[in-house]
Structure 1
Amino acid sequence: MTSDHDMLWSCCAYLGRVLLPLLDQEPWRQDRRRERLHSWGIDMAVGERLMEVFASLAAHAVAVDTSLSASEFETLPLSAVADAATGKQDFELLAGLPDTFADDRDDIAVKLFRLYAYKGDQTSLQLFRLGTEVRHTLTVLAARESVPSPTCRDIFGRADEAHLSL
């Protein structure tokens, strides 16, 4: 039986996975992001995967801080996730994670994020830049919504409309 905490992480991971495909519905955004990653010396695939897990970690941190259950996760405002992406320290984003992950991709991505967070030096700057990119992504997606304070539910609805089942 899957615990609520594991289900909460699954919701957070799904949010992280759909953000870039939704943003990239405007193809020029992907090109611009890839140019930035290249200029920062970050491999495109690594950078995009780190952005996904960064968004997942930010959402998870806010959900845990506000005691949201998995069933309440969709009510989480995108603005709170965006704020966490740039407002929380790396170690704060890593606090309270599940001990194991159902998806090996999540396990590997979280380990890579940990490595970047604890290595310091240039990798800390790269994480800061990636956090800024995540915040920008969330802000752009929130601006596309017709409601005043978009939530994760709105993003999940867009993902369903775009037939994203990641």
Structure 2
Amino acid sequence: MTSDHETLWRRCAYLGHVLLPLLDQEPWRKDRRQERLHSWGIDVAVGERLIEVFAALAAHAVALDTSLSAPEFETLPLSAVADAATGKQDFELLAGLPDTFADDRDEIAVKVFRLHAYRGGQISLQLVRLGTEVRHTLTVLAARESVPSPTCGDIFRTADESNLPQ
């Protein structure tokens, strides 16, 4: 049986998975992001995967801070996740993660994030840059929504309407 904490992580991970495909509905955004990643010396595939997990970690940290349950996660404002992406320290994003992950890709991405965070120097500068990418992505997607203060649930509905896989 899946615990509420594991379900909460899955919702956070799903948020991370759908952000870039939703952003890339304007193809030029993908090109610009990939150019930035390349100019920073970050492999595009690795960078995009880290952006996904960074968003999931930021959402998870805010959900834990505000004591949201998995069913309440959809009420989490995108602005709070964006603020966490650039406002929380790496160790704050890593706190309270589940012991196991249902998706091996999530577990590997979290481990890579953790390694980047603890190495310091130029590598941790890359995490700062990726955090700004997450914030930018969330800000753009929030601006596209027709509601005044979009939530994670609004992004999930947009992902469903765009037929993105769950």
| Cα distance between partner residues in 2 of 1:123 and 1:77 | 30
TM-score normalised by length of structure 1? 0.99
| Cα distance between partner residues in 2 of 1:88 and 1:9 | 18
Once the two structures are superposed, residues 102-124 of structure 1 have per-residue CA deviations (whole angstroms, 9 ceiling, x without a partner) of 00000000000000000001111
| Cα distance between partner residues in 2 of 1:42 and 1:48 | 9
Q: CA deviation at 1:20?
A: 0.1
Once the two structures are superposed, residues 64-90 of structure 1 have per-residue CA deviations (whole angstroms, 9 ceiling, x without a partner) of 000000000000000000000000000
Q: CA deviation at 1:49?
A: 0.2
Number of aligned pairs?
A: 166
| Cα distance between partner residues in 1 of 2:60 and 2:151 | 14
Letter in 1 for 2:58: A
Aligned to 2:9: 9
- 5+ residue gaps, structure 2, are none
SS at match of 1:71: coil
Q: How does 1:17-96 map to 2 (within 5 A)?
A: 17-96=17-96
| Cα distance between partner residues in 2 of 1:94 and 1:42 | 21
| Cα distance between partner residues in 2 of 1:64 and 1:70 | 10
Once the two structures are superposed, residues 2-60 of structure 1 have per-residue CA deviations (whole angstroms, 9 ceiling, x without a partner) of 00000000000000000000000000000000000000000000000000000000000
Aligned to 1:131: 131
Q: CA deviation at 1:143?
A: 0.2
Aligned to 1:100: 100
SS at match of 1:70: coil
Please tell me the root mean square deviation across aligned C-alpha atoms, in Å: 0.4
Moved over 4 A (4+): none
| Cα distance between partner residues in 1 of 2:29 and 2:115 | 28
Identity %: 84
| Cα distance between partner residues in 2 of 1:134 and 1:159 | 17
